[in-house]
Structure 1
Amino acid sequence: MAQQKIIIYQIFTRLFGNRTNVCKQNGTIAENGCGKMNFFSDEVLQQIRAKGITHVWYTGIIRHASMTDYSSFGIPRQHPAVVKGRAGSPYAITDYYDVDPDLAEDVNERSAEFDALVERTHKANMKVIIDFVPNHVARQYHSVAKPEGIVDLGATDNQSMGFSSDNNFYYNVGQQFSPSIDLYAGESEPYTEYPAKATGNDHFDAYPGKNDWYETVKLNYGVDYCDAGGRSEHFSPVPNTWQKMLDILLFWAARGVDGFRCDMAEMVPTAFWSWAIAKVKAINPGILFIAEVYNPMNYRHYVAAGFDYLYDKVGMYDTMRSVICDGCPTSKITTAWQWVDDINEHMLYFLENHDEQRIASNYFAGDAFRAYPALVANVLMRKNPFMVYAGQEYGERGMDEEGFSGCDGRTTIFDYWTVPSLYRAFVSKESTDEECELSRLYSEVLNIANAEKAVSEGDFFDLMYVNEHIAERQYAFLRKANNELLFVVANFNGAKASLTVNIPDHAFTFLHIPRKDVVATDLLSGTNVAVHFGSTTSVNVDVDAYKCVILKMQLSME
């Protein structure tokens, strides 16, 4: 069976299909509207698939803390003091077994609407990824949708113990929750919590600050972080939280979910991941686990624990961002991949996600087209997956001041809002010429990755070590599978480049390239280029500013 190049499309579900064009700062759901799961019709999903997308990550599916009152539907109301933004963070889960009511046309049918979304996505030949948030929950977590026989988190905790491996939470015994925030937040009664639970970002006292994850509670996986002798692990017998979190993973896997993006995975012990991933994959062998990790020193531990893919943020993302913004030479791209070459197929590349600033924002490149060379390089250079954040392919700027989320170059995850470029692309059908052109470029490159075996299955050869003369603003490499060779050059410079790119002898032997003249076709422009491998060991190419060439050659050793 042919190997597939995975292209993930992250959709912030609450924002994507919002039909409200003009939003009010700090607006309610009634004022600003909200995207719905039913927006993703067969037609919309086919549009997404046509971009070259293979997997859709629907962000924010599981019910999380919000200021919107759904108590008339039997959903507990959240105190606004422990909710960030009117819509709330999708990473402050209030019920692991429930679908967020904001996303449903009919709140009572929200679970069925999700199942239908999964079915439609599969029908469109794409797989479904959702968030699994294992490190923390909302302060007022309470499941009303848990299956029969499931005991709620914290329901049997001994709150007189700061730590116990039988507890789901950590407690500050005898202390009231006293964060440096307004505990009233407009309500007649303050939010109270006694004894105070530890906060999600490993804040173990009762006094988190406003910059802490004060709206969340840290889950207890059997690690005593406050042990007088140092951090100690209590994994035998299996901690109570482990089994409860495994039950949640199996619940969603049984509903047709094809993968989990695991939030802040490195804040949860690898011992749990090894145990849980093995059990889930024993039932669903093809299911994917993607880890949000930031410490490169831990990467290999999480691969060993069973994760299929890890965020390559600190390495490749940070490097590409710096190259795009003229901060470092393109030769550093080589350094970034070499650092994790032994686990290269496990690294997930991206240029945007919900945590990062938009490329087109004033805080990043200011122009989405400047990142096009990075897109081509990251998508085509290795076999590993690439992720696009919805709106990225239209040059979304993220320069709105939405409410809780200020003007920071990011698309809000806390507010009811509309993503302007997505509204124009999918609702009003009035994309600008620039948006259409950028989207075309993205679709072209992503579909090349889908179609070319040299990308999904082939060998990779970095050419930079014999091309120091281009190591400031260009990046060149080869990909080869069977008799097909791709020669890729990305120009990160704002001026056209006329280049002579050297091909070392080792590339000819390693990739089994015949020394004969061939005719190559540029997959982007469709033009034919003569490549004189019979008489030279270099390729001459002209590459426009912020553009690329992808020369495809049919080779035979005969």
Structure 2
Amino acid sequence: MLLPSVSINVNMRPLTYIAVIGLSLSISGCKLTNTDIQMTEDVRESALSMTQVKPSPTTGKPVVYQVFTRLYGNTNTTNKPWGTIAENGVGKFGDFTDTALQDIKSLGTTHVWYTGVPHHAVINDYTSIGISNDDPDVVKGRAGSPYAVKDYYNVNPDLAANPANRLAEFEALIERTHANGMQVIIDIVPNHIARNYHSLSAPKGEADFGANDDTSQVYSKHNNFYYVIGEDFAVPDAPNSYAPLGGDTHPLSDGKFAESPAKWTGNGSRLAKPDANDWYETVKINYGVKPYGSHDFPALPVDYASKTAAEHLAFWQAQTADDIPDSWRKFEHIAQYWLANGVDGFRYDMAEMVPVEFWSYLNSHIKHTNPNAFILAEVYNPDLYRDYIHLGKMDYLYDKVDLYDSLKAIIQGKASTAVIATVQAKVSDIEQHMLHFLENHDEQRINTADFAGNAFNALPAMVVSTTLSRSPTLLYFGQDVGEQGAQMAGFGQPTRTSIFDYVGVPAHQRWMNNGKFDGGQSTPDEKALRAYYQTLLNLSHSAPALTGEYLALDLLQRQLNTQGYDDQVFAFSRYNAEQQLLIASNFSQTEPKTFTLTLPKTLIEQWQLVENVTLIDLLTQQPYEHALILNNHDSASVQMQLQPLQSVVLELTQKH
């Protein structure tokens, strides 16, 4: 999640969180009241009985295409800083036509992550359909942060051709996505919600967050929020260079926002007047974690790290009704609601700011409804990875802090490729759970001076990221055509495509070609880059070896002092009974690399290598110019000649 400051580089995540509470390695659960059980079971039965055709779960490595929904279909090229929806345009659910979805599918996509779908605070007037106006003093940007959700039971009205019919339009998009052979992921943001949260669409009997809180107490287990008793909320002091809406006038833009008593801010700030660096547009959710860290819920036995989701669910069902905080029940109802509407999985924002116990509760309920649900979490602390996977029952976590950061450093000439094998070894027991990416909405675009300089400089890293493990690959829309994210949209600085304002995405718009999705306006470089991504990502979930074993060949080459194998080259193997692959990448932007890649005896025995082994480069579908040479069954070698930025994915074929 990205909720930046306005006094620093506003696209950067804060370096510290204030009074972050909720991290824990114990688990707890609850038994719902009869009313809660009925509501949840009704929604679950609805989800199970849906008649729409859904794609079968992929049998290979998933490919997740993350699309920022409001920007994807926008054809407007005005790009006025702080431009209104009328001036700069906005994409709609309807822009995801069958043609568009087949174009997404052509990238090997198995899951589409529609980012920014739940109704969040926006600066646009929808009072005619009963939606209250949002206050610019507590909204970042004109289009608003997708992580300041205002109504979890409906969708962003900006995205609908007919805002009054917005939920039906999104449901139709879900059906189209399924019909085109892909599954649907949306965000859930359990750590915080918009300051002005109010659901117009909640099921009967489902109270708003905070509606039943005892606001006379800083903390109570069943309160949804934490309170600053005796003080009213005050809008942060903004730097001189910042004004809401870029200084445009607005009836509610007066430096005030009514909230009494003040609530704790989303990043944990306990100040009635948060700092401009805080996530002041959001409020922190209470999960039964007391202000100084102790818990108001029972712990799960330590051996539950090895138990199934069904066993976790049984534990929750054995608890008493009062043991579970109200916020847990609310988010479980929200997840079930979206499952019933056809959603196939969730991406959880800032998951590590919420106790692990809650995730076990929520995810075990989700898996009970849909065992194949795709569950992805934003977690940045490697020390917590295994707890969120094994105890929290997450399917996938971001591999950001180790792999992404290492690959970025290698691209920038700040690290050796030797670090790749090191960071991969750190997660060897959980590698299939670590989602890989080089771009997402939080990170800088590759094609910027602050990252890779141009889009092609990252291709070796993309090959390694995509083929290194059994984990899914995430592709951010526009990455495949080298989008720069250079537009000054309003709130925030370039190098990332804005998630706060209405803006066009130029390279993607050229590929989109007014809805034809044929690259009719794209440059030759953009078309070449797109073709490379198509080949690589389709290979990633179709090559059998990529769901098999991994062996780093890097250390052996360094131990042998292989001539020509240096800190800009990385080689490894992937294999199973069906297929054997040798993968090598040259990260140098200027120098070709020639070296002899040596395979260890253990690999020769594992692969049962014999003479007459030929190699096919699966990235080009051409025979490789050098054969694999077997040396008395003690070792094998192949001559490698890699041009600058070239990678090879060599499939072994043995002639018997």
TM-score (norm. length: structure 2) = 0.82
Map 1:307-318 to 2 at 5 A: 307-318=394-405
Compute the displacement of 1:332 (Å): 0.3
User: Bigger CA drift: 172-181 or 78-87?
Assistant: 172-181
Structure 1's 115 and 2: CA in aligned 2 closer, same or farther, altered over 3 A?
A: closer
Q: How far apart in 2 are the matches of 1:74 and 1:540?
A: 69
Task: Tell me whether 1:538 sits opposite 2:625 in the alignment.
Answer: no
Correspondence for 1:439 = 530
What's 2:652 paired with?
Answer: 553
| 2:604 corresponds to | 508
CA contact (8 A) 2:460 2:585 kept: yes
Distance in 1, matches of 2:602 and 2:151, equals 56
Question: C-alpha displacement at 1:483, in angstroms?
Answer: 4.0
Name the structure 2 match of 1:461: 551
CA distance in 2, matches of 1:99, 1:115: 10
Could you say what secondary structure the match of 1:540 adopts? strand
For residue 532 of structure 1, report the CA deviation from its aligned partner.
1.7
Query: Pairwise mapping of residues 30-49 of structure 1 onto structure 2 (< 5 A)?
Result: 30-49=86-105
Describe the superposition over 1:15-49 as per-residue Cα deviations: whole angstroms up to 9, x where unpaired. 11002122211001011110101100011100110
Report deviation, 1:105. 0.7
Please give the residue correspondences for 1:15-54 in structure 2 after superposition, counting only pairs within 5 Å: 15-54=71-110
Q: Which residue of 2 aligns with 1:204?
A: 270
Q: Could you report, residue by residue, the CA deviation over 1:519-539 in whole angstroms, capped at 9, with x for unpaired residues?
A: 111122333232222556211
2:363 is the counterpart of 1:299: no
Same amino acid, percent of matched pairs: 43
Q: Which residue of 2 aligns with 1:232?
A: 294
How far off its partner does 1:186 sit? 4.5
TM-aligned CA deviation for residue 239 of structure 1: 0.3
For residue 119 of structure 2, the aligned residue among 63, 68, 89 is 63
Residue 205 (structure 1) shift: 2.1
1:214 to 267, 280, 283: 280
Question: Residues 554 and 397 of structure 1: is their aligned pair in 2 closer, same or farther, counting only changes over 3 Å?
Answer: same
User: Does 2:541 correspond to 1:423?
Assistant: no
Residue 587 of structure 2: aligned partner: 492
Equivalent position SS for 2:429: helix
Is 71-80 or 306-315 further displaced after alignment? Answer: 71-80
Partner of 2:33: none
Amino acid at match of 2:604: F
- 1:362, 1:399 within 8 Å by CA — same for their partners in 2? no
Aligned-residue offset at 1:181? 3.1
Distance 1:181 1:98 in 2: 32
CA contact (8 A) 2:235 2:257 kept: no
Corresponding residue for residue 526 of structure 1: 621
Residue in 1 that maps onto 2:128:
72
Q: What is the CA–CA distance in structure 1 between the aligned matches of 2:290 and 2:124, rounded to whole Å?
A: 36
- Considering Cα pairs closer than 8 Å and 6+ residues apart, tell me whether 1 or 2 has the greater RCO: 2
Paired with 2:125 and 2:60, the residues of 1 have a C-alpha distance of 43
Q: What is the alpha-carbon distance in structure 1 between the residues aligned to residue 505 and residue 330 of structure 2?
A: 36
Aligned position for 1:345: 432
| Whole-Å separation in 2 of the counterparts to 1:130 and 1:59 | 6
Task: Determine if the alignment matches structure 1 residue 451 to structure 2 residue 542.
Answer: yes
| Structure 2, gaps ≥5 residues long | 1-56, 299-322, 515-519
Q: In structure 2, what is the Cα distance between the partners aligned to 1:513 and 1:103?
A: 56
**Deviations for 1:223-247, whole angstroms, at most 9, x for unmatched residues?**
112x3xxx11112510010001100
How far the C-alpha of 1:66 sits from its partner, in A, is: 0.9
Residues 1:2 and 1:438: Cα distance change in structure 2 (over 3 Å): closer
Post-superposition Cα deviations, 1:376-400, rounded to whole Å, max 9, x if no partner, equal 1111121110101101111111121
**In structure 1, distance between residues paired with 2:581 and 2:365:** 40
1:368 to 455, 458, 470: 455
Give, in angstroms, the shift of residue 555 of structure 1: 4.1
Q: Give the structure 1 partner of residue 31 of structure 2.
A: none
Amino acid at match of 2:549: D
**Does structure 2 retain, via aligned residues, the 8 Å contact 1:17–1:427?**
no
Task: Tell me the secondary structure at the aligned position of residue 541 of structure 2.
Answer: helix
1:364 aligned partner, one-letter code:
F
Unaligned runs of 5+ in 1: none
Aligned to 2:315: none
**1:83-162, aligned counterparts within 5 Å?**
83-162=139-218
Residue deviations 1:461-508 (CA, integer Å, cap 9, x gap): 110111114240011111112242111111101211112111111222
Determine if contact 1:485/1:555 at 8 Å carries over to the other structure.
Answer: no
Q: Which amino acid aligns with 1:295?
A: N
Aligned partner of residue 102 in structure 2, secondary structure: helix
Equivalent-residue separation in structure 1 for 2:642 and 2:87 (angstroms): 48
Q: 1:319 aligns with which of 406, 415, 428?
A: 406
Closer, same or farther: CA 2–292 of 1 in aligned 2, 3 Å? closer
Number of aligned residue pairs: give it.
550
Amino acid at match of 1:519: T
Shift of 1:147: 1.0
Give how far 1:448 is off.
Answer: 1.2
Q: Which amino acid aligns with 1:504?
A: P
Whole-angstrom CA distance in 1 between matches of 2:79 and 2:110: 32
Deviation at 1:103, TM superposition (A): 0.5
Deviation at 1:336, TM superposition (A): 1.0
Q: Distance in 1 between matches of 2:525 and 2:324?
A: 55
3-state SS of the aligned residue for 2:234? coil
Alignment match, 2:364: 278
Conserved in 2, the CA contact under 8 Å of 1:5 and 1:384? yes
CA distance in 2, matches of 1:373, 1:33: 36
The 2-side partners of 1:145 and 1:263 are apart by: 22
- What corresponds to 2:12 in structure 1? none
- 2: CA distance between counterparts of 1:156 and 1:61? 27
Mapped contact 1:515–1:534 kept (Cα < 8 A): no
Shift of 1:366: 1.1
Greater mean alpha carbon deviation, residues 319-328 or residues 467-476: 467-476
**1:396 aligned partner:** 483
Q: For the Cα contact (< 8 Å) 2:137–2:235, is it kept in 1?
A: no
* SS of 2:151 mapped into structure 1: strand
Q: Is the 8 A contact 1:357 1:364 kept in 2?
A: yes
3-state SS in 2 of match to 1:224: coil
Give 1:274 shift: 0.6
Q: Does 1:383 align with 2:470?
A: yes
Query: 1 CA distance for matches of 2:463 and 2:58?
Result: 22
Q: Distance in 2 between matches of 1:69 and 1:271?
A: 39
Deviation per CA, 1:235-270: give whole Å up to 9, x if none: 251001000110001100111111100000000000
